[in-house]
């Protein structure tokens, strides 16, 4: 027996995962409740759902959470780099000691934008102008 087409969303709602929705062809995601998610599932067509990406706060700034698990070998990822003018290092995962060090210290992201945001948040705190 195959899974229901909305299986993953229904499990996410049952598990209390936070959801977000956007209208088709939009990039503006908004938080929705489980009930709203159920409504969007059955009304199909006008919205796209996703599980809300995990976030962290660094110096009062909300940003995408870093990776917490090692990706498959050969995955392109980005390491927060506070001394680079672009704020990150572009890397490929091969489970090296350096890969593991960066992962274990919460410095790995799957997008350059996330690594840049993370680096800037750290630097904001170091420069002393973080929100208190």
Its sign, for the CA torsion 17, 22, 27, 30, is negative
> Is 78 in contact with 88 (CB distance < 8 Å)?
yes
How far is residue 83's CA from residue 101's CA, in Å, rounded to a whole number? 17
pLDDT tens string 10-31:
888 889 888 888 887 778 888 9
Query: What's the CA gap between 18 and 93, in Å, rounded?
Result: 29
Give 59-95 pLDDT, tens digit per residue.
999 999 999 999 999 999 999 999 999 999 999 999 9
- Tell whether pTM > 0.85: no
d(CA 57, CA 70): 22
């Amino acid at each position: 027996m195959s899974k229901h087409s909305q299986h993953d969303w229904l499990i996410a709602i049952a598990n209390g995962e936070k959801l977000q929705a956007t209208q088709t062809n939009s990039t503006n995601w908004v938080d929705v409740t489980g009930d709203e998610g159920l409504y969007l599932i059955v009304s199909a067509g006008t919205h796209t759902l996703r599980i809300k990406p995990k976030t962290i706060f660094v110096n009062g700034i909300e940003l995408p959470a870093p990776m917490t698990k090692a990706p498959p070998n050969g995955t392109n990822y980005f390491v927060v780099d506070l001394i680079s003018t672009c704020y990150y290092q572009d890397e490929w995962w091969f489970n090296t000691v350096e890969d593991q060090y960066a992962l274990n210290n919460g410095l790995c992201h799957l997008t350059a934008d996330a690594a840049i945001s993370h680096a800037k948040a750290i630097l904001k705190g170091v420069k002393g102008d973080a929100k208190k």
